[in-house]
Structure 1
Amino acid sequence: MLFCIIYLLTNSAMQVGKIHFELVNYFEADHFFDLARRVSPSILESMDIYSTVLYHMKEEMKLSYLAKELLSVDRLSPQAWCALGNCYSLQKDHETALKNFQRAVQLDSRFVYAHTLCGHEYVTLLPLPFLFLYVELEDFENGIKCYQSALQIDQRHYNSWYGLGVVYLRQEKFKFAEHHLHKAYNINPRSSVLMCYLGMTQHALQRNEDALEMIERAISADKQNPLPVYQKAIILVSLECYDEALNELEQLKESAPHESCVYALMGKIYKRFEMHEKAMLCFGLALDLKPPAADVATIKAAMEKLYLPDEMDDTL
């Protein structure tokens, strides 16, 4: 009887944790996965997903402890090696992370999430509030192979459809990107992240009405996610709706005050309004927030061309 109660409690907590993971509610997911582990300390099922939750939360110590505990329970479990891989990935040691994910695949070739994590590591998808950085490995060919391997095992593994969509978006193969992101969205239609990237792809295809509709859905689905608000501002700028875009960015900087790209875009809008002092202030704030090197060059170029007419400034 006691065993049945423990099993039911553990399983229920895990399922609720997985639901919150799908909805990108990482704090709540952490709570329920942690509850499952406290009820059943030797549990392995879904701990690969829990390790990804901790990765997204940047909980390095908790993630390291989880990986160590899982290895002590069963060194031959793919969940343990996925957790260890996420641990190294969080430390930005992507080559070691990849080796650990590959070890998980070797231990169980049908462990679908290990294939997907391999794909993420090959293309080095680092989720930040407003964009994905692609650095170091950037091996799209092998990343695509890993995602396809995952989908051969489970056609409903939306994370791999999403991974393929983001790769194709990065490669500017926008039709392919839209197709794969739609596949992911049809499986998990409540994810604001999927809605947002689908809207970004539609914007790249110059279907701005569809893009705005999808971005609005993303905002409604998760009001805490700043990414769709920023993308909405980008679309509004492309439509020359500068006042509306500026209004979105003014609100966004209150909830995401440390994002350089928000101030950089505000600077570009103020430049178009010929409000040069405000533009320079925003560009300066963007640089103070230490953006990536490529963005630094773009912002400095915009500052140097601040008084040039827009048609002569190719940085905007």
Structure 2
Amino acid sequence: MYPVSSGRLRGLGEEPFERLQALIEASIQQNNLETAEFQCEILVGEGKREEASLSQLHTASYYYGLVLYLRGKIQIAWDAVSPFKTQFLGCSYVLARCALQLKDSYCREAATALAGFSKFEERIGVDASASAAAGPLFMAPDEATLHCVLGQLYMRLGRTSESAAEHYKALTLNPYLWESLRAMCELRSDFSVGKLYVRRQSNRRVQSSLGTRPRRGLILKPHTPFKVPAFDSKRKNVAMAAQQQPHSLNKTKHGVQLKASNISMTSTTGNGNTHLKSRLLATPPSKLAASDRVVSPVNLSNDTSGSLTGFEPTGLIDSIFYALGKAYKSACQYDCYKAIRFLSEELPPNLLSTMPWVLACLGKLHFEIVNYEMSNKYFKALRKLQPKRVEDMEIYSTLLWHFRDAVELSALSRELVSFAKLAPQTWICVGNFFSQKGAREKSIQAFQWSVELDPKFAYGYTLQGHDHSSNDAFDTARTCYRQALAVNSQHYNAHYGLGMCALKLGHYEESLLHFERARGINPANVILLCCCGVALEKLDHQDKALDYYDLACELQPTSSLALFKKAQLLFTMAKYNSALENFETLRALAPEEATVHFLLGQLYQIIGRRQDAVNAFTVALNLDRKGSQVIKAALEKCYRLE
């Protein structure tokens, strides 16, 4: 019980204001946030007394805003601290946290207020006009956190160079701050993950030799200003895939169909009288989350540790953060194999099976390289670990789309709708289900709902574009792709979609431009290389197209798409021996593809291997009854030549 006298709280020998602070801190620690809010209202009233100091008013506003923020009352919290945003760093910090959950206009105001404290020597808990210093505030941020929050504000505003600089400063103070490490990777900044931990270990050795403890942050540094760099500049769900069911060369080695745009191509024989329809692509670029922007603002530090053994961190925690940082940096640069190696070889085995982030990352990485079986394995493990997880389920639903698993897609969609109806990922799953069933109007509506729930969800715009493109509504599709790029200029699948629209319309130079833009973001993507090759073929640049196909085969020797495009072009160029060699290799990779056997039969016929030609045509006929007339005609011609 606390005695009451003259309408004022009287603590046990303490002033009412300080006593209320202690009560609020205890309530927050016990997660009694409703009680904390109630107590903060009293504290603000105490801070507004005529005899109260300005420092007390600032402190009361900070506590009130903090509790409102923790309770999810973001707009009210903003209003509580906004009057003191330029006077007290604590209020400016809470304002910044609120702004990150509000519109961009709020972020602009919060960034200006927080950056303004670079001009003053001020710390949380100390008011510049107060004659006596107050104690450190509860839950006050340290310098690293302030730089991180300012970096997040700059990122929302598109000021990528300033964002990268702030996040790097945060990492130099605290290399274990994952928000900043992730942001640096997604910005694709030029920095060394290894050197962050080298510097940290060096600092520890210096501190140990001086007999001092590391700084805890601004609250213990009354004379150190919070400084912001004074340079200007401008400122990953996820990449996307097309939605049209493919027909030819659209299976993996295990017979799994790949999601692709529907484009018919004509395959002709040497005399030009045979036509076969085949799909252009095995799959569009996959849907691994790409970074929002690409930036190299300053040469923060060159990453010279390109190999797994380039840096040897000491200490388990440093080793774990190093491996996770290097893996994510590689993933953001689309170096998927390297990222997989870092996670698989550098992390302790227990993290590989128990850490949700690692399982999700491995699932997306294997999805990106079209290793669907392994991707499915990791996503299933993730779902077992977190059955109610919503994040990354848009990727998992697309994986199920590739497997044509309508039952699992339906179950996943129903489950997500039951507990996460307002999540955009839920409606991506629903849209993928309808897309797999061929209900394009319903799938487009579901994708539209996803972007209505989150207007910055580029994934939804791109999937809408893919379905509109499949319906030959190219103008609408291009509008969707441009909306995706407005949200995320590095969303290379939107460039891919624009390229496919241009290709279907016969605008080959424009399509090549879009494909090259996409390849500039993801240069090692085999699908994009093949797209560039197709556009070059249409422009009669066969030698250049062959160079692209060669590079694609070199990057991914098991890609049936790249090998097919290369072999087909060699056939067209009358380089029969080289074409035959590639088609025979392709037959081993895709034994159930009728088109491969048919073209092999034509090649055998051209070089005089009649019996091999008959065998190849027979296999093609058994695999594709729809093309029986074309194949029978080729067989009859083969017998006539006998």
TM-score where L is the length of structure 1? 0.81
What CA distance in whole angstroms lies between the structure 2 residues aligned with 1:88 and 1:297? 34
Aligned residue number for residue 61 of structure 1: 407
Q: Does 1:158 align with 2:486?
A: no
Specify the structure having the higher radius of gyration (Cα).
Answer: 2
What CA distance in whole angstroms lies between the structure 2 residues aligned with 1:52 and 1:180? 24
What CA distance in whole angstroms lies between the structure 1 residues aligned with 2:498 and 2:579? 30
Q: Deviations over 1:138-168 (max 9, x none)?
A: 3222222211211111111111111222222
Q: Does 1:39 align with 2:373?
A: no
SS at match of 1:100: helix
Question: Which of these residues, 532, 537, 547, is aligned with residue 203 of structure 1?
Answer: 537
Question: Which of these residues, 584, 587, 590, is aligned with residue 256 of structure 1?
Answer: 590
Question: Which of these residues, 410, 424, 430, is aligned with residue 78 of structure 1?
Answer: 424
Q: 1:274 to 1:138 in 2, by over 3 A?
A: farther
Q: Does 1:90 align with 2:424?
A: no
Q: Deviations over 1:51-106 (max 9, x none)?
A: 11221233333322221221122112111111111112222233322222222223
Paired residues of 1:123 and 1:138 also in contact (CA < 8 A): yes
**One-letter amino acid of the structure 2 residue matched with residue 176 of structure 1:** E
RMSD: 2.7
SS at match of 2:355: helix
The aligned runs of 1:121-270 (5 Å cut-off) are 121-124=467-470, 137-270=471-604
Q: 1:143 to 1:270 in 2, by over 3 A?
A: same
What CA distance in whole angstroms lies between the structure 2 residues aligned with 1:297 and 1:149? 45
The higher-RCO structure (CA 8 Å, 6+ apart) is 2
- Percent identity of paired positions between Structure 1 and Structure 2: 33
Paired residues of 1:10 and 1:37 also in contact (CA < 8 A): no
Moved more, 170-179 or 277-286: 277-286
TM-superposed deviation, 1:262: 0.7
Q: 1:86 to 1:244 in 2, by over 3 A?
A: same
The aligned runs of 1:8-27 (5 Å cut-off) are 9-27=355-373
Q: 1:274 to 1:173 in 2, by over 3 A?
A: farther
Paired residues of 1:249 and 1:262 also in contact (CA < 8 A): yes
Aligned residue number for residue 88 of structure 2: none
Q: 1:170 to 1:300 in 2, by over 3 A?
A: farther
What CA distance in whole angstroms lies between the structure 2 residues aligned with 1:30 and 1:182? 30
**One-letter amino acid of the structure 1 residue matched with residue 397 of structure 2:** S
TM-superposed deviation, 1:303: 5.5
What CA distance in whole angstroms lies between the structure 1 residues aligned with 2:629 and 2:447? 35
Paired residues of 1:23 and 1:192 also in contact (CA < 8 A): no
Paired residues of 1:280 and 1:303 also in contact (CA < 8 A): yes
TM-score where L is the length of structure 2? 0.42
Q: Does 1:104 align with 2:438?
A: no
Paired residues of 1:82 and 1:100 also in contact (CA < 8 A): yes
Q: 1:94 to 1:298 in 2, by over 3 A?
A: farther
TM-superposed deviation, 1:300: 5.5
What CA distance in whole angstroms lies between the structure 1 residues aligned with 2:376 and 2:634? 42
Aligned residue number for residue 283 of structure 1: 617
Higher share of residues assigned helix:
1
Question: Which of these residues, 455, 458, 461, is aligned with residue 115 of structure 1?
Answer: 461
SS at match of 2:592: coil
What CA distance in whole angstroms lies between the structure 2 residues aligned with 1:95 and 1:216? 39
Structure 2 residues not aligned, in runs of 5+? 1-177, 179-350
Aligned residue number for residue 313 of structure 1: none
Aligned residues: 290
What CA distance in whole angstroms lies between the structure 1 residues aligned with 2:612 and 2:385? 56
What CA distance in whole angstroms lies between the structure 2 residues aligned with 1:26 and 1:78? 23
Aligned residue number for residue 13 of structure 2: none
Aligned residue number for residue 128 of structure 1: none
TM-superposed deviation, 1:47: 1.4
What CA distance in whole angstroms lies between the structure 2 residues aligned with 1:185 and 1:24? 17
What CA distance in whole angstroms lies between the structure 1 residues aligned with 2:631 and 2:472? 25
Q: Deviations over 1:173-200 (max 9, x none)?
A: 2211111111112212232222222222
SS at match of 2:601: helix
Q: Deviations over 1:246-283 (max 9, x none)?
A: 12112211221111111221233234335555445433
